[in-house]
Structure 1
């Protein structure tokens, strides 16, 4: 299965903040949206990603004062991305190798969606279930 198919089901909504948003604002977005990361965009391009891990690192480094600082001070700048034509297996390997849980989907330099490890696992479970059902039907048909 390709990323483009996941985004058809999931939709292309991406929770975003600007680089000048405070860490508190970004944390509020994580909480309100019930997501583990927000994409930091600047002028329509991906400037970084701010995850729960980044939040923990910010508070551990600078305490409560981190909450009033810009998210750009703590975001992950070297963002690993996906393309709509990437396969689920490719992305699972990429996420495992890099120890990341979210990949913004970028097409021709434009942010078009985001996939999480949960999205990929859900897809793999659906594929395995479909395959098992197909084999059961084949065996039952004799």
Structure 2
């Protein structure tokens, strides 16, 4: 399974923010849409990611206050990325190793979407459930002639 399969299921909604936006506005956007990250875009290009991790660190470092900080001052300006053609078997260890919960999906220099660790886990579980269902159907529909040729267990 590829990252493009996750993007196809997820749909095309992308939540972005400008690096010069106040953190307070970014937090309101994240709360409004119940999302854990915003892609930070400047002049049509991805320049970073803002996730709840950066927000919590900022709050912890500043006595629970965001102040007048901008997104640029706290964003991850070198987020790990993948492409739509990246296999999920490659993405899972990358996300686990770096404790990454959100990963931008890039094609050339264009942002195609953002996948979350939840999206990856759900895709894996759905795939395993489908495979399990197919195996059970195959066993249930086992041809009788093959079954008759197999010796009975003693």
Return the offset for 1:66.
Answer: 2.5
Residue 6 of structure 1 corresponds to 6
2:113 match: secondary structure: strand
C-alpha contact (below 8 Å) 1:12/1:114 kept by paired residues: no
CA shift digits 1:94-127 (9 cap, x unpaired)? 1001101000111010111110011111111111
Residue 25 of structure 1 corresponds to 25
1:106 match: secondary structure: strand
2:62 match: secondary structure: helix
Distance 1:47 1:27 in 2: 18
1:63 match: secondary structure: coil
Structure 1: which 4+ aligned runs deviate by more than 6 Å? none
5+ residue gaps, structure 1? none
Residue 148 of structure 2 corresponds to none
CA RMSD of aligned residues (A): 1.2
- Bigger share in helix: 1
Distance 1:54 1:71 in 2: 10
5+ residue gaps, structure 2? 143-154
TM-score by length of 2: 0.88
C-alpha contact (below 8 Å) 1:81/1:105 kept by paired residues: yes
Residue 128 of structure 2 corresponds to 128
Residue 60 of structure 1 corresponds to 60
Distance 2:68 2:32 in 1: 18
Distance 1:91 1:49 in 2: 17
The structure number with the bigger radius of gyration is 2
Distance 1:67 1:28 in 2: 14
Return the offset for 1:138.
Answer: 1.0
CA shift digits 1:71-103 (9 cap, x unpaired)? 110111111111000011211111001101000
Residue 70 of structure 2 corresponds to 70
**Residue 99 in structure 1 maps to residue 99 in structure 2:** yes
Distance 2:33 2:82 in 1: 22
TM-score by length of 1: 0.95
Distance 2:77 2:67 in 1: 19
